[in-house]
Structure 1
Amino acid sequence: MRICMINCALQDEFSRLGHEILALHPEPGLYDFPSLLEKHAFEPDVVVQQETLGPRVLLQGLGKLSCLKIYWSIDTHLNSFWQEEYSRLFDLTCSTQKQWARYLQDQGACRTAWLPWFGRRLPWYPWSSRKHNVGFVGRVTRHRPSRERFVAFLGQCYNLRLTQDVSFQQMLEIYQETRLAPNESIFGEINFRLFEAASCGCLVLNPAPIPGLEELFTPEREIGVFRHALELGSMISSSLNNLPAAEKMAKAAWVRVQEEHLPAHRAKSLLALIEENLSQFSKKSCDSSDLDWAMTLYRLWQARRAPVSGQTLLHLLLALPESPRKRCALLGFWMGMDRRDMVAHDLAAIFQANLHAEDHNVNRTASLAALHLEDLPMAKAFWLRLRARSPRLPRPPGTQRELYLAWARDLQRQGRLARPGLSYDHQRHVPESALECLILAHLLDSRDMDICRAMDALLDKQPGFEPLRLSLLSHITLHRPQDWLAGLKLGLVNLQGFRLEEGLEELFLAGSRAAQQNQDRKFFNALSAADPDRSIRTTLHPRPDF
């Protein structure tokens, strides 16, 4: 096959498989892709673009191509808010994150697949030849306070070898001299470090739970997994006390890399996806490509990352044929430009012309935009307009708070819990996730503990939101000091964020409050469920009055 690969780490593997490859590595920016192909006199059967981290390479004109187009998203956990639009320009979108591949499919991508990252073919070095017990390679800055606490904990307790700002080759050499490699992630993702350290023969100690992790490496046989600082500490101590057993696990992970997780393995997986999708591929052009392109730029503009001006984006949006997505984007654009007059104008136009009355997203976006203008009657009107076509919806809520909560439940049902990677600005953004609606409800009355609990419950299984949960639970325990369950959760979140002293203190206080209410058995059961290795209870037990 003739394959054009843009910034793809698997290009050499595909060449070895006998395919004709045009490998492009353009500088960050926007590219008219058909013109780029014409310049290289290359007519591909398949296009594969791999996401570049940092500044973006965005390909315009993909809808004009009649070949199979594939996008490989690397940091979907940080960029799904715009990639859910960009992925529509491709026939298949792969993600390194299992759960995010499913999410993109749910949000409108044509087809999706899980394609994890890969390791390296490196020699095995016995642990007896290694210099360092515990090592971590990664940049530590004030912008990642959780990582600062993570490395501080490891440095204080386990003589961590911390290395920053080194080349890729130097990083591999450091891990080849290291026995244990504790890992850290941003939003509960499977990251490069997992594969890199396992390739080097380290025992990787990885945060859990992460969807797909157990399919790549088997916990307790090939890697260790931890949920909080004390569990990680217990795991490091037991590994150092039994190096032969720990080395056996590390060797098993290294073998797994050699057998399943090398570039050649990923190339064969991608090739199988190409062949499967070619058999189903229709060579008609994509009618919605102009809309998908404009929406991609709009999402990046919302995050202040767009490579075009606001005026250029507005011209693109206005030039599109009428559609629900265009209408929602225009409302969001006017709100982002602080043009309240145009938000009000468009709301009136949509309502009076009965535009897209059947579209769920238009009605929700319009209702929430009206709430931004503090126009409760208009916000209710769009709820009623939707309810006329969806009888299951309850009667319109009576207050701003109730309407925000109702739309939060609606978004939660659609699986739109939060938008990781986007710094939500309630002054600029129409809320598009359950969390954002709850934030707006909370802003109406910060003393409403029910909303705080609803936000915490929403985020309980969402890694990466620990700082927000910490703030919410601290707020609850401040105003409801007898709520021992909130105190228990606060203690656990502190431990997840490597705040050991604060976490243990909160757990101790929560246990005392539960005992005062004759609910110590309930407290013990709840703590036991969160402490399968007993590391928390073992640490707390010496306190005489626990």
Structure 2
Amino acid sequence: MRIVNLHSTAFVAAFRALGHEVLSVGIGPGCDVPLSEPLSARRFTDLLDAQGMAPDLVFWCDACQIPWVFGLETLPAVVIGYSVDQYMHPWHVPYSMAFDAVCVAQRDYLPLFEESPHCRPVKWLPLFCDPSRDRDQGLPRDVPVSFVGTLDGRVNSARKPFLQAFRTRAPLFMTTGAYAPIFGRSRLVLNQSAAGELNFRVFQAMACGAALLTEAVDNGLETLFTPDVELLTYRRGDPEDAARAALAALTDPGLEAIARAGREKTLSRHTVSARARTILALATRLAAQGAPAKRLHALSGVRRQLRKAYAMLALDEHLPLRTSDREFFLSQARF
């Protein structure tokens, strides 16, 4: 299969390892075609022609960035999107109308995506680990409890006070940056989310061999993992309950068994390769069902929804956009 991957490159290596040709386009590091400005529909088509790429699949992978490539709704190839942070970006809902199917990482948000002009399917596709990076290196577990993540409060204002309160009751090493070296030395990893989502740390911590202590939330947590068997939970937003659970776990001789069970479940079912196979199988089904033709037949309705997404982006004062970017989104909202 010939695949054009847009934005996040999380799946690129997995697609290639499965034998597929991939051209990655985006503004992040490591893309085959790096972008410094938005790519209009015509320029995107010209780029594909210049690369000699007639894709079977165009895959938009959410990287917590504004869209930078336009005209996906007009393509004859299968187009699939993967929304990771839909709880932060409501524009994902109208933007997903450009896709022949949309995969959503947070299960509770599926109903928001169900209606579309071309009845495109919506699939729950939880996040994952990458075993090439997220692995147990057999180091001594000399860190009782760790947290690795952002602390500045721009996205999650509750995080810093939660961690500070936890730290007054239980041991906690917290830092930012590379998580794998810390998780590989941790007995217990503390996880806290922005909106009760199942974030990447759920999967990364367990893949690194640590026991996970995370919030008792919805979004499919207990569908994927069994509390007190494969992970530990605490009441969301309650640092006292989290500290109590951590202290009890650190004295529990069964903690290593929980860590081992969580690691085995994560590596057997929740890897980037497993998710890549799901996406590729979905693309094959959509091609066989003639999904692109259905989308093109409903193009006027699709574009009405896309205009909403572009207007939302142009008018969002919290986005750090240049004036030229806002003007570009406004022009797309009017097409």
- TM-score category, normalised to shorter length: 0.7 to 0.9
Following superposition, the deviation at residue 37 of structure 1 comes to 1.2
SS of 1:36 mapped into structure 2: helix
> Contact 1:48–1:69 (CA<8 Å) still a contact in 2?
yes
More helix by share: 1
- Partner residue, 2:257: 248
Is residue 231–residue 262 contact of structure 2 (8 Å, CA) maintained in 1?
A: yes
**How many pairs were matched up?**
311
Deviation at 1:91, TM superposition (A): 0.8
Q: Does 2:13 align with 1:3?
A: no
The 5 Å alignment of 1:352-367 reads none
Indicate which of 78, 86, 90 corresponds to 2:88: 78
Shift of 1:289: 4.7
CA distance in structure 2 between the partners assigned to 1:36 and 1:100 by the alignment:
34
- SS, match of residue 313 in structure 2: helix
**Aligned partner of 1:38 among 49, 59, 71:** 49
Equivalent position of 2:222 in the other structure: 214
Q: Output one character per residue of 1:143-187: Cα deviation in whole Å (capped at 9) or x when no partner.
A: 4441112211222121211112x2xxx320111111111110011
Identify the residue that residue 257 of structure 1 maps to in structure 2: 266
Per the alignment, residue 49 of structure 1 pairs with 60
Kept in 2, the 8 Å contact 1:29–1:57? The answer is: no
Q: 1:20 maps to what in 2?
A: 21
2: distance between equivalents of 1:18 and 1:61?
27
**SS at the partner of 2:144?**
strand
**Native 8 Å contact 2:144 2:186 kept in 1:** yes
Amino acid at match of 2:9: C
More strand by share: 2
Counterparts of 1:312 and 1:263, CA distance in 2: 34
Q: Which amino acid aligns with 1:69?
A: V
Structure 1 residue aligned with 2:76: 66
Counterpart amino acid of residue 146 in structure 2: G
CA contact (8 A) 1:181 1:204 kept: yes
| Cα distance change on mapping 1:87 and 1:154 into 2, 3 Å | same
Match of 2:290 among 265, 273, 281: 281
TM-score normalised by length of structure 1:
0.53
2:302 is aligned with 1:294: no
1:374-401 per-residue CA deviation (whole Å, 9 max, x = no partner) reads: xxxxxxxxxxxxxxxxxxxxxxxxxxxx
TM-score, structure 2 as length reference: 0.85
Q: Rg larger in 1 or in 2?
A: 1
Matches within 5 A, 1:260-339: 260-284=269-293, 285=296, 286-304=299-317, 305=319, 308=324
Opposite residue 195 of structure 2, the aligned amino acid is: F
1:130 equivalent in alignment to 2:141:
yes
Aligned-partner Cα distance in 2 for 1:77–1:239: 31
Work out whether residues 219 and 225 of structure 1, in 8 Å CA contact, stay in contact via their aligned partners in 2.
Answer: yes
Matched, 1:179 2:175: no
Shift, 1:233, TM fit: 2.2
Unaligned runs of 5+ in 2: 26-30
Give me the whole-angstrom Cα distance separating, in 1, the residues matched to 2:330 and 2:204: 44
Give secondary structure in 2 for the equivalent of 1:206. strand
Contact 2:103 2:122 in 1 (8 A): yes
Residues 73-222 of structure 1 aligned to structure 2 (within 5 Å): 73-79=83-89, 81-106=90-115, 110-121=120-131, 122-124=134-136, 129-143=140-154, 144-164=156-176, 166=177, 170-222=178-230
Query: How far off is 1:126 after superposition?
Result: 6.2
- The one-character-per-residue Cα deviations of 1:311-352 (angstroms, maximum 9, x if unpaired) are 6666655x55xxxxxxxxxxxxxxxxxxxxxxxxxxxxxxxx
CA distance in 2, matches of 1:119, 1:148: 25
User: For residues 478-509 of structure 1, what are the alpha-carbon distances to aligned partners after superposition, in whole Å with 9 as ceiling and x for unaligned?
Assistant: xxxxxxxxxxxxxxxxxxxxxxxxxxxxxxxx
1:274 to 1:157, Cα distance in 2 relative to 1, 3 A: same
State the alpha-carbon separation in 2 of the partners of residues 236 and 93 from structure 1. Answer: 37
Match of 1:225 among 230, 233, 237: 233
The structure, 1 or 2, with the larger RCO (C-alpha pairs under 8 Å, 6+ apart) is: 2
For the 8 Å contact 2:100–2:292, the answer to whether it is kept is: no
Tell me: CA distance 1:39–1:222, structure 2 relative to 1, closer, same or farther (3 Å): same
Distance 1:102 1:28 in 2: 34
